[in-house]
């Protein structure tokens, strides 16, 4: 099981070079769904980070099968103690594949190692359309969890390039 994930953002050429310079690590490159010039590189090797971005997270729960293909949703949340309980209860239902949103292949629930209330949820979707349908549902299990005192989370969307 993956224990840690770190990520960075930057130009595609630099991120591809960083990945080529570190062939011993499992790294995933993804392109922004909003801005074609924006890319992210995820290090899923569970090794100490080599990135300067300080975006390091401890993986505390994995739901679904590990498959890094499709559409990636990065959802940043701030969860106080009470919200953590509610959040965990809602996600517990996703352990049953029949209760997961349609098209959701995998979820990684991660916590910032230095900021106990900061979470990153990485959802990997079969297709962008599956994500958009779930995002717009009234029953969307994660829509009520915000970030940094805001009612809404910070969400970034990417197409996984490999």
Tokens of 88: 């965990």
The whole-angstrom separation of Cα 108 and Cα 66 is 9
Give the chain's length: 162
- State the pLDDT at residue 23: 96
Angle formed at CA 113 by CA 110 and CA 117, multiple of 5 degrees: 70
Which residues does the chain have with pLDDT short of 50? none
- Looking at residue 64, its pLDDT comes to 93
Percent of the chain whose pLDDT exceeds 70: 100
pLDDT tens, position by position, 25-55: 999 999 999 998 999 999 999 999 999 888 9
**Nearest by Cα to 106 from 40, 39, 42, 20:** 42
3-class secondary-structure state, position 85: helix
Write down the number of H helices and E strands in the chain: 3, 8
| Three-state secondary-structure class, residue 159 | strand
pTM score of the predicted model: 0.92
Q: What are 73's two structure tokens? A: 């949703």
Beta strands in 24-85 (DSSP E): 27-32, 39-43, 55-64, 71-78
Topology given in CATH for the domain delimited by 4-160: Alpha-Beta Plaits (3.30.70)
């Amino acid at each position: 099981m993956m224990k840690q994930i770190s990520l960075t953002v930057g130009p595609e050429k630099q991120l591809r070079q960083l990945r080529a310079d570190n062939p011993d690590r499992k790294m995933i490159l993804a392109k922004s769904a909003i801005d074609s010039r924006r890319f992210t590189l995820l290090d899923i090797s569970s090794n100490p980070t080599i990135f300067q971005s300080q975006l390091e997270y401890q993986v505390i729960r994995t739901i679904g099968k590990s498959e890094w293909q499709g559409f990636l949703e990065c959802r940043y949340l701030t969860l106080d103690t009470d919200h953590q309980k509610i959040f965990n209860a809602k996600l517990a239902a996703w352990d049953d594949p029949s209760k997961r949103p349609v098209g959701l292949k995998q979820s990684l629930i991660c916590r910032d190692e230095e900021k106990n209330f900061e979470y990153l949820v990485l959802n990997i979707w079969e297709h962008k359309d599956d994500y958009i349908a779930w995002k717009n549902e009234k029953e969307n299990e994660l829509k009520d969890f915000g970030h940094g005192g805001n009612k809404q989370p910070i969400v970034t969307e990417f197409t996984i390039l490999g």
